[in-house]
Structure 1
Amino acid sequence: METYVVALDQGTTTSRAISFNQAGEIVSRAQYPFRQIYPQPGWVEHDPMEIWATQKRVLAEAVGHTDSKQIAAIGVTNQRETTILWDRTTGEPIYNAIVWQCRRTAPICDWMKREGLGDLVAERTGLLIDAYFSGTKLKWLLDEIPGARERAQRGELCAGTVDSWLIWRLTGGRAHVTDYSNASRTMLFNIHTLEWDAELCRILDIPMSLLPQPRPNSEVYGYVAENIPGLEALAGIPICGSAGDQPAALFGQACFAPGQAKNTYGTGCFTLMNVGEQAVRSGAGLVTSVAWSVGGRTTYALEGSVFNAGSTIQWLRDELGLIDSAPECDRLAESVPSSGGVYIVPAFTGLGAPYWDMYARGTMVGLTRGTTRAHLARAVLDSIAFQVTDLVRVMNQDAPCPLTVLRVDGGASVSDILMQTQADLLRLPVDRPSQVETTAFGAAALAGLAAGVWGSLEELAGLRRSQHVFLPQREEAACAEDYRQWRRAVERARDWVESV
């Protein structure tokens, strides 16, 4: 009887479940979107109960025609930094989830910087002070939700990122855990000792009793509880793998050796490089996180994060109404030889690495009467490639050895025109795998290792296959001039607040 591993892939805009066989092939999948909540400019929220309901629904659909005895394990991967606070007894959230993109805690970050806490945060956590990370989001919830701090001090509440929320729910409240990769994105976790940092929790006035237990990425956290409506057939299946979406993709891309790197083209873009068993502190605007801890060995990653990538295509579709679907963006972009001098900087929620500008705003420059929606579509795809180029350039400054190839995945990686533009700008091969669901497979692989479905990293590496390798084609000088103009456009986006 064939054995399967199921991954829950809880993303920023959709909840998904994917079942993999031992060859790493997809057997079944299900996906369902959920609401994006924007209470005011710069704020982004999700309904935690909607996240749970959609994730439960897709899990049931993905395994609906499978004998539950064939399912060896469940792994979880998730949108990182998104922060939830819930009642320990009832399981009810006391407020919406504050999403990783949300900028509401920028004033708290400004206060931390004025207090001179940047070096402490960087040394202990590997991160920079930014509203992106979970710590200030949790402080905001405790400060602003009536009665939350008092209830937290009485031990009535649990806090966590989405991995903690899903595992808590799946185990019927028996397991309040997080994995090291997710913990290392909170700005509260010491990545060297692999423990919550008491001093940082004190500075942000966060009771440590709220926090989940940090655990390695590949071990049994608990078992699916009985009597979860719709999931009764899965009761007793171990939940034994967890990682944030980006380290899960690094693992799923089989980047097991130091120096190997990948970029995920999702709602945002995230470039990660395996730097081995010693954390490397960036001097160029990147952050350091735990990638995974497997078999008693902890692997670290350098990371650069772009806040808006695929979300820019969604903006073109949903807010501007210029396209009906993401594939139409490609077709339009391919109909023109270039963006016609148009540059779009999608700083809708500020700029991430290497700029870390919480106050930058989206900017469009170079418009003429000859600008068409095709030029805008091309400029949107170009903006994604430019932002990744920013990341790779600074990563090469920090890394012990320069990148020689970039492995790619995520929804927008199916775009040939985007991948070719990326290869041209980087002057590097861009390697797209035949299995582009690398985030989900990374979670499945971590769970499968713990359950004995796969025996080693070498066995997992042997499952990866390249679907297409894009090589640089366009003249280097032309690409360099485009990139120079991009950097000028970025400066316009960063000057906006000061100039109004």
Structure 2
Amino acid sequence: MAGRSLILAIDQSTQGTKALLFDAEGNFVEKASRPHEQHVNEAGWVEHDAEEIMTNVLACSRDVCKKAGVEAGEVRAVGISNQRETCLAWDRERREPLARAIVWQCGRAKGICDEMSAREGVADRVAELSGMALSPYFSAAKLAWLLRNVDAVSAAAEGGTLALGTIDSWLVFKLSEEHAFATEPSNACRTQLLDIRTGAWSPELCDAFGVPMETLAEVKPSDSVFGHTTMGGLFAEPVPICGVLGDSQAALAAQSCLNPGDTKATYGTGSSVMMQTGSELKQSQSGLVSSIAWDFGGERSYVLEGNLNYTGATITWLKDQMGLIESPAEVEGIIAGANPADRAYFVPAFTGLGAPWWDTEATGLLTGVTRTTGRAEMVKACAESIPYQIADVLDALRADTGLEVGELRADGGVTANGYLMQFQADMAAADVVVSSLNELSAAGAGFVAGRSAGLFDHNVIYEKVERRAFKPQMSKADVAAKRDGWHLALKQATTR
């Protein structure tokens, strides 16, 4: 008889894959991770190899179980969180991808959205049904691009073997003994093909984008049993995959943001700033999007959300493309040596701007450069673009809901930077509460899977995580001056 009851939580994110183990008391046990290659061509198209991702999921699962000394039968449930909007096409008979996955950052489908916008009333109808402004950011236009431009995809559609889906549905399909073709609402709504009010695929939206509805996965509640897996022979007996959430919603669950007004920010490659609105669907007048938080046992919860394309990825750019830092861990120390009076601002519009601006033509901009601007000041300007962007989204959330965001629950790699978290508290005029566990998306998947498998009945993982708080300290006049400078830089970078 196995000695422990463990949950294996997979977080398949933009930069790589993590596998975490939690026990039935909510304690973090062990972690393993592996990066995958970012395929970016001269046009700026961003792609992932779906088979490499699948290989890494299995490898991470093997690695973490080995590190933790897991014995047969101890893993009782598997949960999955995943990068949203990234999508791919595969052949259901051959079980192989038909092209690389198109990453959420990729704007190649802009022309399709422009075509649709030119047709009277289409953009408004897409926004009304999906809860989201028509944009190449979401999966639908990407899937339409694959159908139009990849011969193997259109051929599989004609032959009746085509599967179109987000990363969660790909992993469930490949991992499950049943070859289950299923997704859940937090991911499905981000395709822009789901009717956000009914939680079902919309024939009207599918027709507008030219995506055959029969190529899409079954939409099941987020805490369903999606299938059973041995994780490529790692387990002697199949274990249920019984919790799936998009990474941002998984972090929301891990942060125990269950009541209307509860707000979190995930600092990943990009950032999701998300407010729980409960059973009430709220539609934004301020450039945000409505999404489904999750469906637990047939009960749907909604959120308002602002998505930012480049937050943590800006730090990666400083390291990999610019060579200004050797490691993200250096950033806080470099900023400490910067001239505090320097007036440089950086707008990270590498592939346009997301919420609340929605300008696909915007380009990156470094402005306010003077003779005092050197390496430290440039690093500081780039890093500060992260809390500036999130503060703008929080303002939009306040405007849309009338709720005062007094606390922002934060997670992700950037939260290790104490300077940026204090700057965030100042710019946002809110307490920033940082979780000691960076892998909140995996923790959310673990919470849902553990509850679904009957290992616990509430969020014991949240109860075990330590937190530290940053409170606003800067004067209102200084905050206003800094944000005015940021908004001037934004105006220079945008086309609207």
* Short-chain TM bin: over 0.9
TM-score when scaled to structure 2? 0.96
1:490 aligns to what? 490
Matched, 1:66 2:70: yes
Aligned equivalents of 1:334, 1:107: Cα separation in 2: 44
**Secondary structure of the equivalent of 2:96?**
coil
2:249 aligns to what? 247
Matches within 5 A, 1:160-179: 160-172=165-177, 174-179=179-184
Matched, 1:118 2:120: no
Aligned equivalents of 2:341, 2:457: Cα separation in 1: 49
Matches within 5 A, 1:297-316: 297-316=299-318
Mapped contact 1:254–1:464 kept (Cα < 8 A)? no
Deviations 1:60-95 (A, max 9, x none): 111122013111100000000001101111111110
2:86 aligns to what? 82
Matched, 1:206 2:211: yes
Aligned equivalents of 2:64, 2:196: Cα separation in 1: 35
The residue identity in structure 2 corresponding to 1:347 is A
Q: What's the offset of the Cα at 1:443? A: 0.4
Matches within 5 A, 1:362-377: 362-377=364-379
Mapped contact 2:443–2:461 kept (Cα < 8 A)? no
1:18 aligns to what? 20
Q: What's the offset of the Cα at 1:235? A: 4.0
2:469 aligns to what? 469
Matched, 1:197 2:202: yes
Aligned equivalents of 1:217, 1:66: Cα separation in 2: 27
Aligned equivalents of 1:255, 1:68: Cα separation in 2: 35
Matches within 5 A, 1:375-454: 375-454=377-456
Deviations 1:202-248 (A, max 9, x none): 1111111110001111121110058x2xx332541100000000000
The residue identity in structure 2 corresponding to 1:312 is T
**Secondary structure of the equivalent of 1:487?**
helix
2:134 aligns to what? 129
Mapped contact 1:339–1:376 kept (Cα < 8 A)? no
Q: What's the offset of the Cα at 1:294? A: 0.8
Mapped contact 1:217–1:294 kept (Cα < 8 A)? yes
Q: What's the offset of the Cα at 1:21? A: 1.6
Alpha-carbon distance change, 19 to 167 in structure 1, aligned in 2, over 3 angstroms: same
Matched, 1:37 2:39: yes
Q: What's the offset of the Cα at 1:488? A: 0.8
Aligned equivalents of 1:412, 1:329: Cα separation in 2: 10
**Secondary structure of the equivalent of 2:352?**
coil
The residue identity in structure 1 corresponding to 2:179 is R
**Secondary structure of the equivalent of 2:39?**
coil
Alpha-carbon distance change, 451 to 173 in structure 1, aligned in 2, over 3 angstroms: closer
Deviations 1:242-281 (A, max 9, x none): 0000000000000011110100111011100000102111
Aligned equivalents of 1:439, 1:241: Cα separation in 2: 12
Mapped contact 1:3–1:22 kept (Cα < 8 A)? yes
**Secondary structure of the equivalent of 2:173?**
helix
Deviations 1:446-484 (A, max 9, x none): 111110111135x565x1544211001112211111101
Aligned equivalents of 1:347, 1:125: Cα separation in 2: 25
Mapped contact 1:223–1:235 kept (Cα < 8 A)? no
The residue identity in structure 2 corresponding to 1:276 is G
Mapped contact 2:343–2:369 kept (Cα < 8 A)? yes
1:330 aligns to what? 332
Unaligned residue ranges in structure 2 (runs of 5+): none
Aligned equivalents of 1:464, 1:480: Cα separation in 2: 38
The residue identity in structure 1 corresponding to 2:256 is A
Q: What's the offset of the Cα at 1:297? A: 1.2
Q: What's the offset of the Cα at 1:430? A: 0.4
Matches within 5 A, 1:147-296: 147-172=152-177, 174-225=179-230, 228=232, 231-233=233-235, 235-296=237-298
**Secondary structure of the equivalent of 2:456?**
coil
The residue identity in structure 2 corresponding to 1:76 is I
The residue identity in structure 2 corresponding to 1:240 is C
Matches within 5 A, 1:93-112: 93-112=97-116
Aligned equivalents of 2:150, 2:210: Cα separation in 1: 14
The residue identity in structure 1 corresponding to 2:198 is T
1:2 aligns to what? 4
Matched, 1:55 2:61: no
Matched, 1:145 2:150: yes
Aligned equivalents of 1:466, 1:180: Cα separation in 2: 30
**Secondary structure of the equivalent of 2:410?**
strand
What is the number of residues matched between the two proteins? 491
**Secondary structure of the equivalent of 1:278?**
coil
Aligned equivalents of 1:4, 1:373: Cα separation in 2: 47
Mapped contact 1:283–1:398 kept (Cα < 8 A)? yes
Aligned equivalents of 2:153, 2:57: Cα separation in 1: 27
Aligned equivalents of 2:341, 2:382: Cα separation in 1: 9
Mapped contact 2:384–2:420 kept (Cα < 8 A)? yes
Alpha-carbon distance change, 172 to 84 in structure 1, aligned in 2, over 3 angstroms: farther
Deviations 1:297-350 (A, max 9, x none): 111010001100000000100001011000111210122253711100000011
Unaligned residue ranges in structure 1 (runs of 5+): none
**Secondary structure of the equivalent of 1:5?**
strand
**Secondary structure of the equivalent of 1:69?**
coil
The residue identity in structure 2 corresponding to 1:83 is C
**Secondary structure of the equivalent of 1:232?**
coil
**Secondary structure of the equivalent of 1:68?**
coil
Q: Percent identity?
A: 38
The residue identity in structure 2 corresponding to 1:365 is T
1:480 aligns to what? 480
CA RMSD of aligned residues (A): 1.5
**Secondary structure of the equivalent of 2:340?**
coil
Q: What's the offset of the Cα at 1:360? A: 0.7
Aligned equivalents of 1:425, 1:67: Cα separation in 2: 48
Matched, 1:46 2:42: no
